[in-house]
Amino acid sequence: MIVITTPTGTIGAAVAESLRAAGAPLRLIARDPARLPETLREHTDVVVGSHADPAVLTTALTGAAALFVLVPPNFAAPDVTGHYLGFARPIAQAVRAHAVPRIVAVSSLGRGFGGPAGFLSAAWAMDDTLESSGAAYRSLQAAFFMENLLHQVDLIRSRGMFVLAADPDAPLAAVATADIARTAADLLADTSWTGQQDVPVREPVDHTPRQMAQIISETLGRPVTYQQATLADHRARYASSGASPATVDAMIEMAEAQTAGVYPPVRDAGVGTTFRQWCASVLAPAVAAARG
């Protein structure tokens, strides 16, 4: 039995659907089972509740052969690291109690970075806690999500620009969430691996934001430029969206860490989705739909 958390989210749903299609026995932890696709509701065991709840974990992890962990965002959290550990600690305890042999979790690229890194630091604290369970562990070290740009579809469509806090000429490691889900599903289906290891998940070649703008322009067939936001603008935008002060601080720390080179350069060209492929298959249809 493979246990999947966040099965109604983008990544969790893709992991669950991939494994279901392959015939793997699944148990899903879901706060709202009504949000699950019909195929998953009908062909999986569903445990209702949160994977921060020890009672829910006891039910879900009994007889489990593997566990997929993703901490759901909570922009109202008063303590970002505390939010991550609020899931990781009861999971680690339940994994020990039920002798779950393998865990795969979504974390962040750059583990081992020496300075504060906001959300990235919180994810690495989760890694440390889950590793303390003693289970075989794979930390999926994800880079900047390409899907973050979907929040700026209207800006791209109407003004021909997108905005980040990153240096326009510094490479920014990125990843398509489909590659995170694919990597997770492959590991969860594989019963042969042991030990604890970080697994980088990123596109094969890093691009600078300025290069990303050029690729978007070529894909959409019209000019799109990149604008670097100041950290003050970055802070004001998140604060105005209703994020907690802790979340705003974590966003700023993450942006500062990215500028400081938290993501190591790519070493070996991989086989993941390139930014150009993602723009053609995901961003361009989203921009077209917004125009409609």
| Spatial separation of the C-alpha atoms in residues 199 and 139, rounded to whole Å | 6
**Tell me, what's the pLDDT at 40?**
87
Domain annotation covers residue 60: yes
Q: What is the pLDDT of residues 117-161, one digit of tens each?
A: 999 999 999 999 999 999 999 999 999 999 999 999 999 999 999
Residue 270's pLDDT is 65
288 located within any domain: no
pLDDT tens digit sequence for 1-36: 999 999 999 999 999 999 999 999 999 999 999 999
Domain assignment present for residue 150? The answer is: no
Whether residue 253 has pLDDT greater than 90: yes
Beta bridge partners of 275: none
pLDDT at 269: 59
Domain count for the chain: 1
> Is the predicted pLDDT of residue 241 greater than 90, yes or no?
no
Is residue 220 a part of any domain in this protein? no
**61 or 271: which leads in pLDDT:** 61
Question: Which domain range does residue 17 map to?
Answer: 2-143+175-201
Question: Cα separation of 279 and 217, whole Å?
Answer: 10
283 within a domain of the structure (yes/no): no
Pinpoint the alpha helices (H) of the chain: 10-21, 38-43, 54-61, 80-98, 119-131, 153-159, 177-189, 209-220, 231-240, 245-259, 275-278, 284-291
Q: Tell me which residue of 64, 29, 74 sits closest to 50, measured CA to CA.
A: 29
The C-alpha angle 101, 182, 21, rounded to 5 degrees, equals 85
Structural domain contains residue 74: yes
Residue 260 per-residue DSSP state:
T
Q: What's the mean pLDDT in 58-65?
A: 97
As a whole number of angstroms, the distance between CA 68 and CA 95 comes to 12
125 in a structural domain: yes
CATH assignment at residue 195: 3.40.50.720
- Give 39's pLDDT tier (boundaries 50, 70, 90): confident
Residue 259 lies in a domain: no
Interval 62-81: pLDDT, tens: 999 999 999 999 999 999 99
Residue 128 CB neighbour total at 10 angstroms = 13
- pTM value is 0.95
172 close to 263: Cβ distance less than 8 angstroms: yes
> Per-residue pLDDT for 37 more than 90?
no
